[in-house]
Amino acid sequence: MVAAHASHSSSSGEWIACLDKRPLERSSEDVDIIFTRLKEVKAFEKFHPNLLQQICLCGYYENLEKGITLFRQGDIGTNWYAVLTGSLDVKVSDTSNHQDAVTICTLGIGTAFGESILDNTPRHATIVTREYSELLRIEQKDFKALWEKYRQYMSGLLTPPYGTPLIEPHIPHRPTKTITQVPSEKILRAGKILRNTILSRAPHMIRDRKYHLKTYRQCCVGTELVDWMMQQSPCVHSRTQAVGMWQVLLEEGVLNHVDQEHHFQDKYLFYRFLDDECEDAPLPTEEEKKECDEELQDTMLLLSQIGPDAHMRMILRKPPGQRTVDDLEFIYEELLHIKALSHLSTTVSIFKNTTHHQKGVFNQGEEGTSWYIILKGSVNVVIYGKGVVCTLHEGDDFGKLALVNDAPRAASIVLREDNCHFLRVDKEDFNRILRDVEANTVRLKEHDQDVLVLEKIPAGNRVSNQGNSQPQHKYIVMSGTPEKILEHFLETMRLEATLNEATDSVLNDFIMMHCVFMPNSQLCPALMAQYPFPSQGTEQEKMDYALNNKRRVIRLVLQWAALYGDLLQEDEAAMAFLEEFYVSVSDDTRMIAALKEQLPELEKIVKQVSEEPKAQQKKHKVLLQLFNTSDDRTQKRQPIRGSDEVLFKVYCIDQTYTTIRVPVSSSVKEVISAVADKLGSGEGLIIVKMSSGGEKVVLKPHDVSVFTTLSVNGRLFACPRDQFDSLAPLPEQEGPSTGTVGTFELMSSKDLAHQMTIYDWELFNCVHELELIYHTFGRHNFKKTTANLDLFLRRFNEIQFWVVTEICLCSQLSKRVQLLKKYIKIAAHCKEYKNLNSFFAIIMGLSNVAVSRLSNYLISLFFLKDPSRNHRAYRLTVAKLDPPIIPFMPLLIKDMTFTHEGNKTFTDNLVNFEKMRMIANTVRTVKFCRSQSFNPDAALTNKNHQDVRSYVRQLNVIDNQRTLSQMSHRLEPRRA
């Protein structure tokens, strides 16, 4: 922020000196200095970079002492202003005498004014400095030029006038047109609760307002409503979220804009509650105030859940040219999770919102005029003579074929439910999308075949730390052959960047995802092929090229080895390559001394993965006893590797078992072989996964690492195929018959949450990032284990069923109520420890139908569980947390699966690298959550909590939903 009065720093003085120059006299260095400084000023934080750059070219600096009149009401304006520091009073007079002027509002830091110069109308008010103030001034001719060029970005930044000046004390109300004809009962109630709470807690917010000589009765200001809402509830995380919540009321006419605008804005605009539309609206009674206080949080929760949809509808109702940069960013974030738009989300400015109330969208044989994406609801696709051929749901699209082929509609689209919402793109805009995508696409061909496809995207007009202007566009890889993608990243690698620099994420995307399309057996030879000396050019040219090229390859190998870490020990091709590569680099340092600086780091990595200390080796070559996650040893938990051996019980049809000893990553075929050796015969054997509820799955011979894929009480069976139907669950799979409430109630909720978090962190910290990729694309495709991820996911289910089991095994109502309260406290402490995985597991346990149906429970679930808008509330919360965090892992898995199933891995025989980038971005969440180490609370850890520690690691649960529901009905039979 610019320093006030005489306390300017030298840097402030420098940029002000640049602004004091005439525009034609400013050098590019002057503009860079002004740009860098203005970016830090609140007044310009929402300005588009291109617009801000132009302001740096034409703006002037003004500083005024207190009490200076900048201009008077009725003057013809010549300048536009933005407040950098200080504040100014806005005064208006009902007469021509300026001495009669009264202050109607104050303009603070970040506000802009003076837009009347656009149409040469007289100034609506007198502006006087309230204190020493600094302003940025733009002359009329320059401001008009900016407005013509950047109208889209500036329209949302100017103060809109409220009609024409009128000298009347009161203005009769006009009937307000609303989007919804009749407000719903719940939104009417929500509006009443908010109005009454404001009148109770902040009555000054609802009062008569005067602006431009016009009086508006009993109004609130948009910015004040947003400020107030953010102070009322922890479920409101941002101003954007609060805007969406108020938009819900505006859509249904429970809150109205005084000039009948249909979108709520976080600005100095006037809004009026429906109750205040009447003269002498009644004030709430004490009883009503008390009721509203009690219902406020539930109201906030309701609005926070439906607010994002209302906000998106509000933006989509605007004509595309009127959408602000913030609007586009909001839609972009929302569209990221709509599979039909995964490749088109940068074109959101042309989308329109459509609500269908009639039963049909279009009919077979009609001309195609639009493309549709389903936001809400579902539709049937109907073809004459065939009937309903398929059903489309939220996220699906339709209508594209007729536009692409310029042909009649090939089917009819019929709504399956009322009030469906769609994104609609008109034919002209759809064709423009196709043209724009192709125009911004660069294709590299070899032998008339595409081998690399790049897309040009805006990079933002920004200034680097060195003051150099950065490119306005950059090219990103969309698809290509594996070799060409590797070659491209090596060629464009920035050698000055550090290994951990965030801007190098595109290279990390390749390193993380290459196992999908370019396994180590293919990558390692390709890296060696990129490493040798060139054969053409002068000796100096060869040396210069070799140095840069070899440094890039070394850099990539270092990042690759750092990510894979110990996993490289299980890959013979990778190990052989590392040793060969190290020898080559060592030899090259004799001719290219500059390579020596990278050699120690390479040597360190090679030693780590190829010369593992015997003690470390011994620690990993343990026999895993049935993957006993409740192992109570005090040493730190080690990640499970595919080469580790496991002692595992495989049961027979007579419920006896044989114990086999095989590597964790063994295939089912290898498991059958081990079982056959023990049984003496393996002819016709199959391996079956059996749940406690009796569900049976025959495992395929190529399935790998199946031991940890079992459900909480699941078991493996081996039997001849003709005896499959005779298999039945073991009695031990049923789970406990008595609860542990007697032990459980003596333990502190905080201690339980703390010990759960310690254990969950141990499990989470063992999960390698690559396990998420193996899990998403199928571990059998890589022949790799995902044992650590499996155990962490199973822990989620274990905690969830622990909650349900204990409540359903508790026969006393009073005890159940206490148990419920305790679980809610444990969940709250888990959230406090940022253990979101256990937090959600407990909340979902409380949501289980076997618990939620019990009529004596009034469960107020945490708002974070709300799944609307793809768990938006959860995502907003996590975005504000600092690591260490234990994330909600099932949601990460869902995101990756959604991306994987909604996008092809190969398009036209090229790697779909855009898909790789999207999945890598989700995987990076895990890296971020673990970027800081977890340090348990010493005060709690040092206490004697061995009993609590043992308890949370040895949960004994019922995971059969049918059994749990039966127990619930015995506790509380269904009413007739």
pLDDT in tens, 853-873: 775 554 444 444 544 444 555
Q: What is the DSSP letter of 318?
A: S
State residue 761's pLDDT score.
95
Question: If pLDDT is split at 50, 70 and 90, which confidence band does 939 have?
Answer: low
Q: Looking at the domain 740-971, which fold is it?
A: Son of Sevenless (SoS) protein; Chain S, domain 2 (1.10.840)
- Show Cβ contacts of residue 501 under 8 Å, excluding neighbours closer than 6 positions: none
Q: What does the block give as tokens for 168?
A: 């009347």
With contact defined as beta carbons under 8 Å apart, do 644 and 625 qualify? no
Question: If pLDDT is split at 50, 70 and 90, which confidence band does 632 have?
Answer: very low
CATH 3.10.20.90 maps onto the chain at: 645-733
Task: Name, of 565-574, 901-910, 930-939, the range with top average pLDDT.
Answer: 901-910
CATH 1.10.10.10 maps onto the chain at: 185-317
Which one has a higher pLDDT value, 176 or 81?
Answer: 81
Tell me the sheet residues that pair with 442.
Answer: 454
Tell me the sheet residues that pair with 214.
Answer: 168, 211
pLDDT at 617 over 50: no
Least confident of 405-414, 825-834, 945-954: 405-414
Which one has a higher pLDDT value, 732 or 345?
Answer: 732
**CA angle (610 as vertex; 608, 613 as ends), nearest 5:** 65
pLDDT at 553 over 50: yes
How would you write 147-168 as a 3-class SS string? Answer: HHHHHHHHCCCCCCCCCCCCCE
Q: What does the block give as tokens for 488?
A: 């491209």
Q: Looking at the domain 1-155, which fold is it?
A: Jelly Rolls (2.60.120)
Q: For the segment 232-282, what is each residue's pLDDT rounded down to a tens digit?
A: 887 787 888 899 899 999 988 899 998 888 889 888 889 999 888 887 788
State residue 354's pLDDT score.
54
Which one has a higher pLDDT value, 639 or 608?
Answer: 639
Which one has a higher pLDDT value, 376 or 816?
Answer: 816
β pairing state of 657-663 and 645-651: antiparallel
If we measure between CA atoms, which residue out of 664, 608, 609, 701 comes closest to residue 788? 664
State residue 191's pLDDT score.
93
CATH 2.60.120.10 maps onto the chain at: 1-155, 323-385+396-458+472-480
Q: For the segment 561-585, what is each residue's pLDDT rounded down to a tens digit?
A: 988 888 888 888 888 899 899 898 9
Q: What does the block give as tokens for 886?
A: 């234990």
Task: Name, of 384-388, 533-537, 614-618, 653-657, the range with top average pLDDT.
Answer: 653-657
State residue 382's pLDDT score.
83
State residue 614's pLDDT score.
43
| Residue listed under structure tokens 């909650």 | 803
Which one has a higher pLDDT value, 854 or 938?
Answer: 854
Question: If pLDDT is split at 50, 70 and 90, which confidence band does 438 have?
Answer: low
User: What's the rounded mean pLDDT across residues 430-452?
Assistant: 78
Q: For the segment 157-171, what is each residue's pLDDT rounded down to a tens digit?
A: 554 443 323 223 333
d(CA 57, CA 118): 19
With contact defined as beta carbons under 8 Å apart, do 680 and 693 qualify? no
pLDDT at 670 over 90: yes
DSSP strands (E only) in 377-418? 379-383, 387-392, 397-398, 412-415
- Give the count of beta carbons closer than 10 Å to the beta carbon of residue 83: 22
State residue 481's pLDDT score.
95
Q: For the segment 745-776, what is each residue's pLDDT rounded down to a tens digit?
A: 889 999 999 999 999 999 999 999 999 999 99
If we measure between CA atoms, which residue out of 360, 468, 488 comes closest to residue 422? 360
DSSP strands (E only) in 809-924? 906-907, 910-912
Sign of the torsion angle spanned by Cα atoms 873, 877, 879, 884: negative
- How high does pLDDT run on average in the chain? 80
pLDDT at 967 over 90: yes
**Helices 769-777 and 539-564: angle between axes, nearest 10 degrees:** 80
Tell me the sheet residues that pair with 321.
Answer: none
Q: For the segment 32-74, what is each residue's pLDDT rounded down to a tens digit?
A: 778 777 777 666 666 677 778 888 888 888 888 888 888 888 8
Does domain 185-317 fall under CATH 3.40.50.2300? My reply is no
Phi and psi at residue 134, to the nearest 5°: -120, 135
- Show Cβ contacts of residue 420 under 8 Å, excluding neighbours closer than 6 positions: 355, 356, 374, 376, 377, 378, 379
State residue 175's pLDDT score.
38
Percent of the residues in the chain that have a pLDDT greater than 70, as a whole number? 80
State residue 730's pLDDT score.
94
- Give the count of beta carbons closer than 10 Å to the beta carbon of residue 525: 12
Which one has a higher pLDDT value, 145 or 182?
Answer: 145
Count Cα neighbours of 853 within 13 Å in the Cβ-side half-sphere. Answer: 17
pLDDT at 667 over 50: yes
What CATH code is assigned to 645-733? Answer: 3.10.20.90
Question: If pLDDT is split at 50, 70 and 90, which confidence band does 7 have?
Answer: very low
Q: What does the block give as tokens for 950?
A: 């043992």
Largest CA distance in the chain: 110
What CATH code is assigned to 482-606? Answer: 1.20.870.10
With contact defined as beta carbons under 8 Å apart, do 219 and 858 qualify? no
If we measure between CA atoms, which residue out of 725, 730, 724, 726 comes closest to residue 710? 730
With contact defined as beta carbons under 8 Å apart, do 153 and 48 qualify? yes
pLDDT at 623 over 50: no
pLDDT at 324 over 80: no
Q: Which CATH superfamily is domain 323-385+396-458+472-480 in?
A: Jelly Rolls (2.60.120.10)
User: What's the rounded mean pLDDT across residues 798-807?
Assistant: 95
β pairing state of 387-392 and 379-383: antiparallel
